Homo-oligomer: A and B are copies of this chain.
Amino acid sequence: MASDTTDPAADLPAPRADGRRARGDRTRHDVARQAAMSATVHGLDAITVGALAARTGHSKSGILTVFANREAIQIAAVAEARTLYLRHVVEPSWPAAPGAPRLRALLDNWVAYLRDGVFPGGCFITATSVEYGRREGPVADAVRGLAREWLDLLEAELSAAGSDSPTDDAFRIDAYLRAANTRYQLFGDEVELERARRLSLDVLGA
């Protein structure tokens, strides 16, 4: 610390370090959030540090202080999308009893998550699991992990609901939700979301 500083806080390094950490946390959060949003419209692999800087108001150098490289941003985007998915779809469904009641709540909350446009291009899991289907590496691994986690959750709840074939039924429901999302994005018709919910309830009822 230079002795000729005129900053009255110069002898108080802890608050300044906290300030830097808070700024870093804010940059990390804003950039990961923006990358997750952009991934649903333009693809997770189309993000650039320059575009993220322009969208978030953080400098490129500030972003590259917090993230080692573009890949680290992409992995943080998957983690941020998972957080949003938990907040909007999973957590509000968890008070319902395991099995059929929780699955019905998950369907309600999933339709609301799409209709409310939590992500501008719809379901993050659908977008990235198609984009990264044939790729390898840490970003693809993060995408695979998130897709697998969702499928395992569906299958566990279907088991709890007494499904004769939880793997087939999880496949059916996941397929309906993905297809509804894709059609809703392509053609803009909300009826597809309701159709997916109705056909999924048929799976539960069967």
In the bound complex, do residue B182 and residue A195 qualify as a contact, i.e. CB atoms below 8 Å apart?
no
**Can you list 13 A-B contacts (CB < 8 A)?**
A41-B134, A43-B43, A43-B46, A120-B134, A121-B134, A122-B133, A130-B185, A133-B182, A133-B186, A168-B199, A171-B176, A171-B179, A175-B179
Interface flag for A127 (CB, 8 Å): yes
CB of A104 closer than 8 Å to a CB of B: no
Closest residue on chain B to residue A121 by CB atoms: B134
Verify if A74 is at the interface (C-beta below 8 Å from B): no
Contact of A29 with B by CB under 8 A: no
Size class of the A contact interface (CB-based, 8 Å): 35 or more
A residues near B (Cβ < 8 Å) are 40-43, 45-46, 120-122, 126-127, 129-135, 143-144, 147-148, 168, 171-172, 174-176, 178-180, 182, 185-187, 192, 195-196, 199
Tell me which residues across on chain B come within 8 A of A180, comparing CB atoms.
175
Q: Is the CB of B178 within 8 A of A182?
A: yes
